[in-house]
Structure 1
Amino acid sequence: MSTTKLGIFGVAVAAVAILASSAMFTVRQTEQVIVLQLGNPVRVIKEPGLQFKIPFIQNVLYYDNRVLDLDPPTQELPLIDQKRIIVDTYARYRIVDPLEFYKTVRLEDNLRNRLGGILNAAVRKEMGESELTDLLTEKRGDVMKRISRTVAQRAPEFGIEIIDVRIGRTDLPQQTSQSVFNRMRSDRVAQAAQLRAEGEELKVKIQAEADRTRTGLLADARREAEVLRGEGDGARNKILGDAYGRDAEFFRFYRSMDAYRQALGDGRTTMVLSPDSEFFRYFGKAPQK
């Protein structure tokens, strides 16, 4: 074979290879494809595998068939009580009708802009009808369900389905947070003052009751002491009277010893008396019998 023929054969093989590579394409399991002919969709392929198209006339557009995410920027929105709150929401969706998706938005970036606007509008509407406590209690789930339902109703017009819509977090603006903190602190200070006042009142009542009880106990004790003292004095006088009746001299001696003990018992008393004073009559010699 001549060199010219070999060159022509090589060119033909190369052309066939180029045509074959242009005619074949692969659809992966995570993809779905729209075949376009001169810009117009002619076929939708969702099954994975090797596929064919008309070279140079048809081209393919790939879309992901997995669950995709939509995370629009956070918003500062007013609540029903005119308080403002920063809300961060996100959504999960899947492309179920590539043809409708292509007709309405064509690219995922376009969908994110349009669906993000719908999501933000739904969130704004619900926040305007909710209170802050609704987002901090079990009512938060009901708010998210209403938002999800609103967004899901618009999803078919883009060829997608909404898997989930969530409120990621809700924060108060710095100014609002400070005012809420100040109000909470004022409430706690007022509550503490009330508790201290109630405690002080209870303290005064307990002290008054204790003082009344103490006064009564002391009065009862003094009365009982006076009674016992009187009974003791009566018994003592009776005993002394009996002793005096039995031995008058011994009784006088006992009374003198008791007087000595009271007058001289501390060892620091100085008395100046005549030696023949009646007070010392028992210091002399014992009387002779």
Structure 2
Amino acid sequence: MLNKKFFIGIVIIAIIIFFNALFIVRQTQQTLILQFGDPIRIIQKPGLNIKIPLIQTAIYYDVRILEFDAEVEEVILSDQKRLLVDAFIRYKIVDPLKFYQAVGNENGFKARVTGLLSGSLRRVMGGDPLEVVLSQDRTSLMEKIQEGINLEAVNFGVSIVDVRIKRADLPKANSEAIFGRMRAEREKEARQFRAEGAEESQKIKAKAEKNKVIIVAEAKKKSQIIKGLGDEEAVRIYANAFNKDKEFFAFYRSMEAYKQAFLEGEDDPTLILSPDSDFFKYFNKSVK
């Protein structure tokens, strides 16, 4: 009975040891085998593998592209403006042995790369003004930052795939000051534009007034010329008519004078004339 229990115990221990010796490397993993804490081999091919139980340990690292979202960093630019930069890194573990020896695990790497990212951001972005950082040239800045971090990341067995800025904001106090200055500049430009517009308006009005005076003067001049020519033509016609029949012309002019003199009106003056005057010459003739 005792032998039977001992045998069952041995079998259970053997099964535990057997299953402890087996491990699976998945498609998304690479494995570093440690023996008493020292790395002895790297397994990058997926599948079922065997290690020595209780002596060897398997550490798994991801072969996929990983992402690290860094904390917001305050950077002083070349124009002495402060900028709050929120950046992230995409990286890949390419050498598990170097990675284990340099940083141990992903948390250790994040602690190390935070300083690298901060230094690279300050070094690269600190050499350019705010206008460059906020322009399309920001892509080239990211490439420089990535190259700077990659030089150090190689020692960690890591390849930096990408570095990107999610957000770049001014501190609240700086934002208000800059917005105030921008508003003042825009108001100054608006006042200048209004002044230039008013000046141009005065020039247009003065030119229009000048043209108006010239046009009216020329029109009056032409009208006087035309009127003078008309009067001249009228005088000529009257003269010709008078020369053709002087008696009739005199009679016609007298009739016109009678018509104007005998018009009734409240404000018309009262005329006192002698019946023998030349004015009533044709009346006297008709009476005779």
Q: TM-score range by the shorter chain?
A: 0.7 to 0.9
1:261 and 1:178 map into 2 onto residues whose CA distance is 90
Matched, 1:287 2:286: yes
SS at the partner of 1:47? coil
Cα deviations by residue, 1:231-255 (Å, 9 ceiling, x for unpaired): 2222222222233333344323433
- Equivalences for residues 271-282 of structure 1 within 5 A: 271-273=269-271, 281=280
Cα deviations by residue, 1:96-145 (Å, 9 ceiling, x for unpaired): 11111111211211110111111111111112211112212343222222
Residue 242 of structure 1 is matched in structure 2 by 240
- Equivalences for residues 46-125 of structure 1 within 5 A: 46-125=44-123
Residue 255 of structure 1 is matched in structure 2 by 253
2:32 and 2:184 map into 1 onto residues whose CA distance is 64
**Contact kept in structure 2, 1:263 and 1:269, CA below 8 Å:** no
SS at the partner of 1:77? strand
Matched, 1:228 2:238: no
**Contact kept in structure 2, 1:70 and 1:90, CA below 8 Å:** yes
Q: CA deviation at 1:25?
A: 1.0
Cα deviations by residue, 1:131-162 (Å, 9 ceiling, x for unpaired): 11221234322222221111101112111111
Residue 137 of structure 2 is matched in structure 1 by 139
Cα deviations by residue, 1:6-63 (Å, 9 ceiling, x for unpaired): 5444333322221211111111111111222222222221111111112222222111
The alignment covers a number of residue pairs equal to 287
Matched, 1:189 2:226: no
2:10 and 2:2 map into 1 onto residues whose CA distance is 12
Greater mean deviation of Cα atoms: 174-183 or 27-36: 174-183
**Contact kept in structure 2, 1:36 and 1:42, CA below 8 Å:** yes
SS at the partner of 1:287? helix
Summarize the Cα distance change of 1:279–1:181 in structure 2 as closer, same or farther, 3 Å threshold: farther
Greater mean deviation of Cα atoms: 163-172 or 278-287: 278-287
Summarize the Cα distance change of 1:53–1:271 in structure 2 as closer, same or farther, 3 Å threshold: same
Task: Choose which of 196, 212, 215 in structure 1 pairs with 2:210.
Answer: 212
SS at the partner of 2:166? strand
Summarize the Cα distance change of 1:110–1:271 in structure 2 as closer, same or farther, 3 Å threshold: same
Greater mean deviation of Cα atoms: 86-95 or 253-262: 253-262
One-letter amino acid of the structure 2 residue matched with residue 125 of structure 1: R
**Contact kept in structure 1, 2:24 and 2:48, CA below 8 Å:** yes
**Contact kept in structure 2, 1:253 and 1:282, CA below 8 Å:** no
Q: CA deviation at 1:286?
A: 7.9
Q: What RMSD over aligned residues (CA atoms) do the two structures have, in Å?
A: 2.8
Summarize the Cα distance change of 1:225–1:107 in structure 2 as closer, same or farther, 3 Å threshold: same
TM-score for the superposition, normalised by structure 2: 0.87
**Contact kept in structure 1, 2:125 and 2:133, CA below 8 Å:** no
**Contact kept in structure 1, 2:91 and 2:160, CA below 8 Å:** yes
Residue 23 of structure 1 is matched in structure 2 by 21
TM-score for the superposition, normalised by structure 1: 0.87
One-letter amino acid of the structure 2 residue matched with residue 46 of structure 1: Q
Q: Unpaired segments of 5 or more residues in structure 2?
A: none
Greater mean deviation of Cα atoms: 230-239 or 270-279: 270-279
Residue 152 of structure 2 is matched in structure 1 by 154
**Contact kept in structure 2, 1:77 and 1:124, CA below 8 Å:** yes
1:253 and 1:224 map into 2 onto residues whose CA distance is 36
2:285 and 2:114 map into 1 onto residues whose CA distance is 130
Q: CA deviation at 1:85?
A: 0.8
